[in-house]
Amino acid sequence: MEHHGLVTLVPTALVLTLAIITRRSTECLLMGVVTGLAILDPATILGGVKDAAMSVMTNQDVAWTVLVCGLMGGLIGLWIRSGAIAAFTEQMTRYVHSRAGALTCAWVLGIFLFVDDYLSSLSVGASMRRVTDRFKISREMLAYVVDSTAAPVSVIIPISTWAVFFGGLLEANKIAADGQGVAYYISAIPYMFYAWVAVFMMPLVIWGKMPLFGPMSRAEARAAAGRPVPPGAEHLEQANQSIVEGPDAKPRVSNFLIPLATLVFFTWYFEIDFLKGLFVTIVITVAMLIGRKTLGFNETFDTFMEGIKLMIAPLSVLIAAFMFKEVNDALGLAPYVIENVKPLMTPTLLPMVVFTTMGLVSFTTGSNWGVFVIILPIVSSLAIAVGADMVLVVGATLSASTFGSHACLYSDATVLSAQASGCTSFQHAITQLPLALVAAAVAALGYLLIA
């Protein structure tokens, strides 16, 4: 529970302030890293940056993220070049006849791809851009729908990477018996209030039952005037359009649906190992495209490499965010927050306090899985000490992680949803945040009422 006192909050406050002023992510996160290292030891800032970078780049979780994002970029490149996404778009427009219908289609597709939030974010955004553009829907609104069906859906459907990861942590922390981690996780699903509210608030927004306000309202007004791509995101649009449909390609919707179904099946087959499923899917997709003579051998592999390049910008943000998390861990941000909210820890208030404070930590650091790893032992001890319902507290903690993943300006889900949808992470986050805060307020009230 060591921390550096009030100064612990300075790097996070600086990052958020700079992000709002500059509307950029990577540079602001790196400024936060340098500021945090200056607080830890001003004499070794350069060495600290090197150590943080090396620690991040040799971390298995970061390596997994880089591999998954890069390979998914390659797969998306193949979908575009082969005409698979164009064929899917054409198919969808036969059944979609309105703005609400287009967004509902994106919402349903995101729910279907529940096995992994990265899969959902990247696939739905890339495949639905053209559809939503036709109905003058802003890229920010598409990103909001995509993001709301990524982590929030993955966390409440227990056949996902989230369930496997968190189930293992529950066992490691002796909250669940050996072999019962996923079962315990399932018992907490009804209490993951934020995820439920975020997912089922979407139809209200889509069908106009919940009015838009703030930045999202302005983004939709701009799109209605014929400008779905926000100013400042032109470089992303250029990158997304750097791969075009091949002149000799034979567009088939099956070239999109077969790899997608393959990825879902093999991720499940390999016990929710998304990376293994992705390896198999790429092999099958390449063989299918070459075998069908949709793309030539050289064209296939050149396109795959071009697709990987599409992910350089979001990966730079994610690596900077991981470095920022390393510095915040060294400063003791989470223990500092816990120590200062301890007086509020009663059996009735604990779930709500855990959700709000840990949601704030996850939001400010951009870490969701990482926050859960650090906080779970502390929160479980507090729950035992005050006699709170452990299942409810676990649900509240998972809700906090989901909120952080969904709402943070530079979390992995935010960055990837924005990239796939065609807007910057800041544009996506700032338009989504008011709606995410509404869902968070409803969730907090739910914890207060049920405890």
| pLDDT tens digits, 186-204 | 999 999 999 999 999 999 9
pLDDT band for 90, please (50, 70, 90 cuts).
confident
Whole-number pLDDT of residue 1: 52
Task: Tell me the per-residue pLDDT of 54-79, one tens digit each, with 9 for 90 and over.
Answer: 998 998 878 888 898 899 889 989 99
Distances (CA, A) of 320 to 285, 330, 368: 32, 16, 15
pLDDT beyond 80 at 242:
no
Whole-number pLDDT of residue 206: 94
pLDDT beyond 80 at 104:
yes
Taking the alpha carbons of 97, 99, 100, 102 in that order, is the dihedral positive or negative? Answer: positive
CA 168 to chain centre: 21
Give the helix ranges, DSSP H, for 310-411: 312-331, 333-341, 350-365, 369-386, 390-407
- Mean of the pLDDT values across residues 306-315? 86
- Mean of the pLDDT values across residues 134-155? 92
Whole-number pLDDT of residue 317: 83
CB 185 within 8 A of CB 166: yes
pTM of the model: 0.84
CB 263 within 8 A of CB 277: yes
Q: What percent of the chain shows pLDDT beyond 90?
A: 39
**Residue 26: half-sphere exposure toward Cβ, Cα within 13 Å:** 9
Whole-number pLDDT of residue 421: 92
Q: Around Cβ 43, how many Cβ atoms within 10 Å?
A: 8
Whole-number pLDDT of residue 65: 83
Task: Tell me the per-residue pLDDT of 362-413, one tens digit each, with 9 for 90 and over.
Answer: 887 776 666 666 677 778 878 887 888 899 999 998 898 889 888 888 888 8
pLDDT band for 287, please (50, 70, 90 cuts).
very high
